[in-house]
Amino acid sequence: RYRYYQNVCAQSYSFVWWDWARWEREIDWMALSGINLAPAVVGQEGLWQRVYRNLGLNQTEIDKFFTGPAFLAWNRMGNLRRWAGPLPPAWHLKQLYLQYRIVERMRSLGMTTVLPAFAGHVPQGILRVFPRVNATRLGGWSHFDCTYSCIYLLDPEDPMFQVIGTLFLKELIKEFGTDHVYSADTFNEMTPLSSDPAYLSRVSNAVFRSMTGADPEAVWLMQGWLFQHQPDFWQPAQVQALLHGVPLGRMIVLDLFAESKPVYQWTESFYGQPFIWCMLHNFGGNHGLFGTVEAINHGPFMAQRFPNSTMVGTGLVPEGIEQNDMVYELMNELGWRQEPLDLPSWVTRYAERRYGAPNADAAAAWLLLLRSVYNCTGVCVNHNRSPLVRRPSLHMDTELWYNASDVYEAWRLLLNASTTLGSSPTFRYDLVDVTRQAAQQLVSDYYLDIRSAFQRHALPELLTAGGVLVYDLLPELDSLLSSHSLFLLGRWLESARAMATSDREAEQYELNARNQVTLWGPNGNILDYANKQLGGLVLDYYGVRWSLFVSVLVESLNSGRPFHQDQFNQMVFQVERGFIYNKKRYPAVPAGDTLEISRKLFLKYYP
C-alpha cells in the first residue's frame, strides 16, 4: 500500500536550507519514484510558538527551547534545546510559507502527507504558567549535558497533555488541512521513566488520544528506531505494551533499520500493528560508497512472507541524502516487484539509464562496485569511519568490508568510459564520487605508513608519508571536489545564508551549518557525526587537522617526548573550532575540469 520516504533527521542534515525550487524538485522526484506517504513537518515551530504564546509563555521562554535551524530535528524529538538558537521571527514566516507549498504540491500529486503531532516535550516555561502540572525532566542526550538537553516531558496522564496536544493539532489542521496521519516520537533515544508495561500503554494511549481529540480519524505513524536502539529496555513485554496502547490498525510503525536490524522478526510482526519495511542506509548524510544490496533485495520479500505479517509498505529513511543514488533507485524499484531482482543485470541496465547510453567500461565498473562497496553483509552500520574524516589518533579504524582493488579498478574503467560519456552530468558526478572513494582509501594507506613510521622512530619515512598526504593528496582531493557543484562546502554555507533576512541571521545560519558538519555541538559533543567530503572542508578542516597531527608526531620523534592523545585533542579542538569561526566565504560555483583532475590523480596515485 505504501512507499514511504524521509527520515526525521534528514530535515536537518539535508533539507534545512532548501528554498521552494529545491523542495519542488524533491517532491517531483518523489512522485516519479512512486512515493505516496511522506512527512510534511516544515514550519511547525511557528505554530508551536503560537500555541505556547496562547498558553501564556513569554518569548524568552520560547527562545530558550527551540534550537537553531540545523538542529531542529533533535528538538522535535526531545533530545536538545536552545543550542545554536534562537529562531528569528523571519524563520517562522519563511518556513510556514514553504509548508503551504509543500503540502499543496504533495497532495496534488496524490501523496498522503504525515503531519507532526504532540509527543509530550514542553518548554520549561509551561511549569511557570501551570505550576501544578506533572512534568519530569529527562536525562541528557548523547554527549550533551543539561545546558542544552534534559527536556521536560509532560506526564501523559496529566490533563494538560490532552489540552496542549489537541490545541496544536487543531491549529495545524486549520492551517494545512489533513490526510489523517500524524507522527510523534516520545522516546527517541530517551529512556522512559518506568518500564512498567501498564505505564507504557498509558503513554501511547495518551499520545493517540491527543490526536483523536482533534481528528477522530487519526492514524499515528511512529519510528520503530527506539526498539532496536535500546533493546535492553524494550523487551517484548514493553514493546507490546507501547504498541497495544493504540487500537490495532490505528498506528503504523516504521521498521527503520530493517535492512540490518529488523524489529518485526522478534516482535511477532509488531504484535499486529501495521509496519513499513524501511531501509535506513545512511547516517549523518556522510559521503562514502556503501550499500547492503543483498539485504535490500531479499528483506522486503522475507518480511511479506513472515508468519501473520502486518507489512503494509516499503520505505527509504536515510538520515541524509545526495549520496549513493544507486541504492535508493534500487529500493524504489523493489517497492513494485513481486520477487528479488537479478542484481548484476539490473545494475548493468541502471548504468545505461543513468548515462543515457550503453558502455562496456561503465557497466563493468558498476558490476565491480555492486560486488564490493555496495555489498556489505551482516550487521552493517554505514557511518563513514575513514581516517580522512575523523580526528587523527594512533588507533584509527582502516577496516573495509570489501576489496579496495575493486574500487581502484572501477575508477580505471570509468576513466576509460569518460572519452564517450564525459558530457553526461550523472557520469561526471559518479566519476567524482568513485575518485573520492579511491582517495579516501589512499588516505588510510598513508595513515598506516605514518603510524608505522612513527612507531619505528623512522623520521624520514614519517616526513615522506606525512608530506604526501598533507601537501599533495588532500589538496588534490579538495580540488577534485571543488570541480563539482554537489561537492562544494560553499553550496551548503551559501544556501544557509540565503535563508536569512539580515546580516545577523546570515551569520547565525552559517555558524549552524558549519557546526553541524564538524563539531556537532559546542565542544565536539557528536564530533564528525555528520562528516561530509566537500571542496573547502577537506582543505581547511580535515587537511589542517592532519597537518597538525603529522607535525606533532614529528616533534615527538625530534624531542624524544611521547605523543599524548589528550594533549593533541586539546590542540586540535582549537583548529576545529577555528574553522567554524574563520569567516572565509567559500565558492558556491565549481572550478576546474573534473575529468582532468580525476585523470591527474589517477596518473599519480593509481596503485
Q: What are phi and psi of 143, to 5 degrees?
A: -105, 30
**Partners of 313 in beta bridges:** 2, 276
Q: Give the type of residue at 212.
A: T
**% of the chain residues with pLDDT over 70:** 100
Closest CA to 446 of 531, 549, 528: 549
* CATH number corresponding to 354-387+401-605: 1.20.120.670
Domain ranges of the chain: 10-252, 354-387+401-605
Q: Is 109 exposed, middle or buried (0-12, 13-18, 19+ CB in 10 A)?
A: middle
Which residue carries 481528528 as its cell? 215
pLDDT for 349 equals: 98
325-360 pLDDT tens trace: 999 999 999 999 999 999 999 999 999 999 999 999
Peptide bond connecting 460 to the previous residue in cis, omega within 30 degrees of 0? no
Query: How high does pLDDT run on average in the chain?
Result: 97
Q: Is the dihedral of CA 593, 598, 602, 604 positive or negative?
A: positive
> Is the pLDDT reported for residue 382 higher than 80?
no
pLDDT of 532-586, one tens digit each? 999 999 999 999 999 999 999 999 999 999 999 999 999 999 999 999 999 999 9
Report the share of the chain in percent with pLDDT over 90.
Answer: 97
Which CATH architecture best describes the domain 10-252? Alpha-Beta Barrel (3.20)
pTM to 2 decimal places: 0.97
Which pLDDT score is estimated for 570?
Answer: 98
Average pLDDT in the 25-34 region?
A: 98
Question: What is the spatial distance between Cα 182 and Cα 140, in angstroms, rounded to a whole number?
Answer: 27
* Each residue's pLDDT tens digit, 443-484: 999 999 999 999 999 999 999 999 999 999 999 999 999 999
Q: Is the pLDDT of residue 157 over 90?
A: no
Amino acid at 444: S
CA dist 589 → 16, 52, 295, 367, 535 (Å): 20, 42, 38, 33, 11
Please tell me the predicted confidence (pLDDT) of residue 192. 87
Amino acid at 214: A
How would you write 424-474 as a 3-class SS string? CHHHHHHHHHHHHHHHHHHHHHHHHHHHHHHHCCCHHHHHHHHHHHHHHHH
pLDDT higher than 90, residue 298: yes
Identical fold between 10-252 and 354-387+401-605: no
DSSP β-bridge partners for residue 375: 292
User: Regarding beta strands 2-5 and 311-316, do their DSSP bridges make them parallel or antiparallel, or are they unpaired?
Assistant: parallel
